[in-house]
Chain A
Amino acid sequence: MDKVLEVAKLSKVYGQGCPSCYELTGPQHNTNLCFRCGSIVAAHDVSFDLYKGEILGIMGESGSGKSTAVKCLYFDEPPTAGQATFFDDDKRYDLFALNAAQQRRLANHRFGMVYQNPHLGLNFDISAGGNIAERLLMSDMDNYARIRHQATRLLSRTEVLPERMDELPKTFSGGMQQRVQIAKALSTNPPLLFLDEVSTGLDLSVQAAILDLILEIQQEMGTAMIVVTHDLGVIRLLTGRTLVMKYGRVIESGLTDQILEDPQHAYTQRLVASAL
C-alpha cells in the first residue's frame, strides 16, 4: 500500500509563544492556554500517516485542535513547527517548505477540502456550477463546454439537480450546500480530501445521506480522506483508524473499532461512554 501523507510533530501556537508553552499546556494541565505568555497551543506534536484509499478520523471536542491540524495541512494556517510530506505518484512534497504559489497549486489540484461552514468552501456570489468551474479553471481546464459538462456530471454524482446549477448557493438548503462543496472538492479528482465536521448541524436524514455519499465516493475513487469530527457515529461509519485529541495533543490512536470498544485513555473512555 502506498503512503499519501506523513505528518511529523506538527504544532500550531496562536500568540507570540514562550519556551514554557508546551510544558504548561496539554491534557495533564487541562488547558491549551499558556499562563506565562497567554498563547494558545492549538496543536502540538501531532504525528500520523495516511495510506491510499484510507479514511482516518480525528476525533475530539471543540478546542481539541483537530481542525487546526487539518487547516495547517490545507495551508489555511501556517504551522509553528513540524513537517508534512505529501506523496503523489512518484513525486514527494515537503508541504511546509513550499512557497505560497506552490502551496496554492497543490491545494487546487491535488487536495480537496469540505468545511463545516459552506461559506468557507463556496463563493456565495456565483452559481453552484460557477463554483465548480472556478476550481477547474484554477487547475488549468479552460474549455467552456468541457467545464460545463464536468460540473453537470459532478453535481449529478453528488445528487444536486443539474437544472439548479445556475442558481446561487444561498438558495440551497444546508445539505445541498454541502453536496455542492463536495462536488467542488472532488472536481479535480484529488488523491487527498479533508472533511471538517461536514455533517455537523444537518438533519439526521440529511447527515446520513451525505455520509453515505462520502463512503460511496471513497469506494469508487479510492480517495484518501481525513475526517475531523466530534461525532462518534461519523467515526464509526467512515473511518478505519482514529486519532483522539484533547487540548492540542493526540492522546490515543488506533483501529477505530478498538478505540470505540477498548479505549485506553480515561478521556476516550468518557467520550465513548457518553454516546447516545
Chain B
Amino acid sequence: MSEAPVLRVENFSKQFTLHEQGKRIPSSHNVSLSVYSGQLTALIGPTGAGKTTVLKGIYRTYLPGSGRILYRTQAGHEIDLAQADEHRMLALRRMEIGYVTQFLHALPRQATEDVVAQPLLHKGISKTDAQYQAREMLAAMNLPQRLWGISPSTFSGGEKQRVNLARGLVSRPRLLLLDEPTASLDQYTMERVIRLIEKLKTEGVAMLAIFHQKELVDRVANNVVTLEPPPAEEYALEETA
C-alpha cells in the first residue's frame, strides 16, 4: 500500500469496570487495523468479540483503555484519538468522522428529513442546502417520499436503517464508521447501499464497517480484520478496588 492510512489502530483494548457489581468486563482485546482512503476495511468476528467497542472507541463514545488510535486529519496531522482533547474530538465528529450506529436514535417529534439534514447543519451548511441534500440522500436510499415529513420513530426496522444510513452518508465524512449498515435491509435496498458504498470509495472516503454476511464482505471489503473474543483468563479478573 503506497498511501499512508487514514486510520491506524494499534493494540486497542477496552474493558468495562462496573463498580456496583464489582466486576470488570473485557471487550475488545489487542485489536490492530488500518483503514485507507477510498477503501473499506471490514471488521468481522463472533458476537462478544468487541467489534462495536472498537468503533465506539474510535468515535470516543467509549473511553479507549489501552493502545493507540492514530488518525490522519484533512490537514495532514496525525493525532491519537485515544488522547485527543474533547473539543478536538467534537470538531472532528462535526467535520471529518461519521458514525452510523446499529440503531437509530431520533426524537419522536423530528421529521425524517430534519434528522438526516442535522449533520450538515452542524457542519455549517445553510438550511436550504442541507434540506436539499438530505432529500437527495433519502431518495438514493429508496425511502418513500411520503415518509420524509414524519418522524422515523414509527418506521419499520429497514426504514429506520435507511434513515440512519442517509444521515451518516449525507455529510460525506473522510472516515466513516459503519455498524452493521445492512442488517435489516431487503435485497433491493441492500444493492443500492452497496452501490452507494462503491461511490463513496471513488470519492475517497475511508470506511471501517462491521458486517455479518460473508457475501457482503466478499463484495465490498478491501481488507478484512477478524476479531476473537477476549481470552478466557480475562474474565477471571475481578475488581480489586
Contact = CB atoms under 8 A, between A and B. Distances in A.
Contacts of A262: 16, 56, 61-63
Given A269-B20, A270-B20, A212 B109 contact: yes
A241 B90 contact: yes
B20 to A, nearest CB: 6
Interface in A166-185: none
A208 B109 CA distance: 9
A241 B61 contact: no
B216 interface: no
B109 A258 contact: no
Contact of A261 (B62, B90, B91, B109): B62
Contacts of B146: none
Contacts of B90: 54, 240-241, 255
A219 interface: yes
Interface residues of B, number: 18
Given A255-B61, A261-B61, A261-B62, A1 B20 contact: no
A266 B63 contact: no
Nearest to B62: A262
25 contacts: A1-B91, A54-B87, A54-B90, A212-B109, A219-B121, A241-B86, A241-B90, A254-B63, A254-B86, A255-B60, A255-B61, A255-B89, A258-B60, A258-B61, A261-B61, A262-B16, A262-B56, A262-B61, A262-B62, A264-B17, A266-B19, A266-B20, A269-B20, A270-B19, A273-B20
Contacts of A270: 19-20
A240 B60 CA distance: 12
> Do most interface residues of chain B lie in helix, strand or loop, or is the interface mixed?
mixed
A256 to B, nearest CB: 10
Given A208-B109, A212-B109, A264 B20 contact: no
Given A208-B109, A261-B61, A264-B63, A255 B20 contact: no
A255 B88 CA distance: 11
Interface string B61-76: 1110000000000000
Contacts, number: 43
Interface string B4-27: 000000000000111110000000
A54 B87 CA distance: 10
Interface in B132-169: none
B45 to A, nearest CB: 21
Interface in A207-221: 208, 212, 219
A7 B9 CA distance: 35
Interface string B84-100: 00110111000000000
Contacts of B61: 255, 257-258, 261-262
A75 interface: no
B19 A255 contact: no
Q: Which 6 A-B pairs have the closest CB atoms?
A: A266-B19, A262-B62, A257-B61, A261-B61, A241-B86, A255-B86
A241 B19 CA distance: 23
Interface string A198-213: 0000000000100010
Contacts of B109: 208, 212
A263 B18 CA distance: 9
